[in-house]
Amino acid sequence: MTTNRFRRTRVLVTGGAGFVGSHLCERLLADGAEVLCLDNFYTGRRETVAHLLDNPRFELMRHDVTFPVYVEVDRIFNLACPASPIHYQKDPVQTLKTSVHGSINMLGLAKRLRARILQASTSEVYGDPIEHPQKESYWGNVNPIGTRACYDEGKRAAETLFMDYHRQHKLSVRVARIFNTYGPRMHPNDGRVVSNFIVQALEGEPITLYGDGSQTRSFCYVDDLVEGLVRLMDHPDDDIGPVNLGNPGEFSMRELAEKVITLTGSSSRLVHRPLPEDDPKRRSPDIDRAKALLGWSPKVDLEAGLEKAIAWFKRLREGEA
């Protein structure tokens, strides 16, 4: 679904050359916005937005959000931060700086411009949850000194900054807690479970399950997520607090692996590896707030979404994507 809701609106998307960011830029352009895509290309890639470069309403800027940027915009989507463990654990200090310094810089820009700003937070703020499914009122169960803390605590600190800027400076803020998202343009080597399983299956390699494969996740197709982000940014209320965006359908890692094997027609077998430190055992969103406030719920089921993602990974292998 597209509208003209952002017509003549200049929108900054940090991390815009990433997986989710590229889809968001595409959607905003379809909705009539002028889009400034900002990325330092640490995990984002020019190829994800190459098809947008000829659009006169699209601009690509190489910049790191840990340094201030001086531009003129009406709305800001702050997506900048490596989101997969293999990337955010490679340079944990920089990951934390991206969440904290990056948020301070983007909030400072929004304050100067009186622009509305949305923070792409994460389900990782809930840590290894004791409450299930996770509601926005749940404060989480996070190890503050573990190997995942650079990302988990960075995003928690960013949420604090956003809400304090709202309370102290009356800034118009939005916070989206994003659960596992998948679809075309995922980085093939980002270490995320969906891309891992698809790549391994297409190559006929063993599919890696950590632990016994019983841990669960929910998987939201990227178009559904982008619709949620757009609706949240467009919501008129400045004091709604964090909103979960994810698909409440819950699947074990083993179930996901078996679906991927079936859909790819692969002969891959399952192999088991030790469970990583602080890896959550269960993860599924309660999306009642998103339904009530935004009229939003995901439309694409897992099998249909996986078919689209697999088709894209096949084209990537053949050099066509």
Give the list of residues 6+ apart from residue 237 with CB closer than 8 angstroms, or none. Answer: 293
- Cα of 157 vs its chain's centroid, Å: 17
Roughly what angle, to the nearest 10 degrees, separates helices 92-113 and 149-169? Answer: 20
**Is 221 among the residues known to form the active site?**
no
Helix (H, G, I), strand (E, B) or coil at 102: helix
CA dihedral 158, 159, 164, 165 (to 10 degrees): 70
Please say whether the beta carbons of 169 and 300 come within 8 A: no
42, 88, 126, 151: the catalytic one is: 151
User: What are the phi and psi torsion angles at 23 (to 5°)?
Assistant: -70, -35
Strands 216-218 and 250-252: antiparallel
Give the list of residues 6+ apart from residue 75 with CB closer than 8 angstroms, or none. Answer: 6, 9, 10, 11, 12, 33, 115, 116, 117, 118, 233
List, by residue number, the catalytic residues. Answer: 151
